[in-house]
Structures are given as structure tokens and as C-alpha cells.
A and B are shown apart, each in its own frame.
Chain A
């Protein structure tokens, strides 16, 4: 149980285009999902907290107009990198949080490697 699927696993795009990444909880409902960014040989940095049916909460320094987050259902959150540039190239990872007594456990997707040319 507690499987989180992230798609695509790898995407290459041209500078100036937008890329959408999907995060799905396959066997549980996730009121809250989180989006992280990870640079090579560095740890995960939280970008934003995504709550179903409401606006995402962004961490300090993260441009909300550049990283659009939508959490339209209890099993799906999407991250859209708008007008991507080479400096946006990174590993993006989502996680989903179960409600109830397991609320403190986050289950992670496999990540999406974004390469912007």
C-alpha cells in the first residue's frame, strides 16, 4: 500500500516551454501533497505544500507564478514549470500524506528529471 506514482520520470524540453508533472496517490486519498526539488548531490528542498481544493502554500524564495501547482482531487496534484529555463533543470519529487493517524508519514514518488535545453 501507500504508493505514489509520478509522471513523467524524465522530460527534456526547450527553453521557454512549459512542462507539467503529475503526482498521484494510487491506493489512498491524499489531502496534502508536497513538491520538492533536488539538485545533484544535495538534499530535498521543499518547494510548496499542495492542499486539495485550495491554493498551494509556497516556501520562501519559490516563485509561485513559475511553479504552478494544482491539487484538483484527493489523488492528483500537478506541478507546471512555466517558461522553463536551463536553471530550472533539476530533479522534482512529490510526496503524499495520508490522513488520520499516519498523517506524519509522507510517501514519495520516484521523481521527475527535468532537463531544459
Chain B
């Protein structure tokens, strides 16, 4: 079993829709939870970073962490064609090493 499981997708949504991305994890030692966006043939770009359970908002993005269920989510409101990318969840424990999900490719149709 992988440490981090991410809903595989791909997802295709119309412009303006809400995009919902999810990951589960098995390692209770994970303390930090991130979402990265990766465009084709580019390095990942940090979108959101959370530490505790609960919600964190940044513009159109909301990150949710439920440590008791070992479940994290990212919501993108009012999605735009420019949001089309692969989204990677990532988690980190006290060793500061990142464990990534496999990624979900999102296409926002104009």
C-alpha cells in the first residue's frame, strides 16, 4: 500500500465549476500537508500548505485536512482554463522528506 493515495482522475470540468481533489494517507507521522500544481514538463509549484486539521483559504483555493480520517482535499472555486494542470498532494513528516500522491490531471473547458 502506498503511503499517499490520490484520486487518479483525470477530471474535466466546465469553466466556473468547483474542482474537488482528494488524497488519503496511511502514515500518522505526517505533519505537513501541501498541494502543488504542475504544468506539463515543469517543476511543481506550491499552492497551499497546511499544518493542522481544518480549512485554509487562499483566494479561490481551499485546502482541507482531516487528520483523524487521514484525508486531505483541495477545492478550486470558479475554475478557469488557466487552472488546467496536474495537481499533486504531498505530505511531510519530521524528516522533512516529501511523499507525493500520483497526481490528478484537471482540464477546465472554456
Residues of A that sit less than 8 Å from B by CB: 4, 6, 32, 34, 41-46, 49, 91, 93, 95, 97, 103-111, 113
Of B13-21, B41-49, B73-81, the segment with at least 4 beta carbons within 8 Å of chain A is B41-49
Contact between B32 and A104 (Cβ–Cβ < 8 Å)? yes
Residues of B within 8 A of A (CB-CB), count: 20
**Hey, which chain B residues are within 8 Å of A106, CB to CB?**
46, 98
Pick from B31, B32, B44: contact of A44, CB below 8 A. Answer: B44
Interface centre among A4, A108, A109 (most CB of B within 10 A): A108
Contact between B98 and A43 (Cβ–Cβ < 8 Å)? no
Contact between A93 and B43 (Cβ–Cβ < 8 Å)? yes
Q: Do most interface residues of chain A lie in helix, strand or loop, or is the interface mixed?
A: strand
Residues of B that sit less than 8 Å from A by CB: 6, 31-32, 36, 41-46, 49, 88, 92, 96-98, 100-103
Contact between B44 and A108 (Cβ–Cβ < 8 Å)? yes
**Hey, which chain A residues are within 8 Å of B101, CB to CB?**
43
Contact between B49 and A105 (Cβ–Cβ < 8 Å)? yes
Interface centre among B31, B88, B92, B96 (most CB of A within 10 A): B96
**Hey, which chain A residues are within 8 Å of B103, CB to CB?**
41-43
Contact between B96 and A103 (Cβ–Cβ < 8 Å)? yes
Pick from A4, A6, A49, A105: contact of B97, CB below 8 A. Answer: A49
**Hey, which chain A residues are within 8 Å of B6, CB to CB?**
43
Contact between B96 and A109 (Cβ–Cβ < 8 Å)? no
Contact between A44 and B88 (Cβ–Cβ < 8 Å)? yes
Q: How far is the CA of A111 from the CA of B44 in the complex (A)?
A: 9
Pick from A42, A49, A110, A113: contact of B102, CB below 8 A. Answer: A42
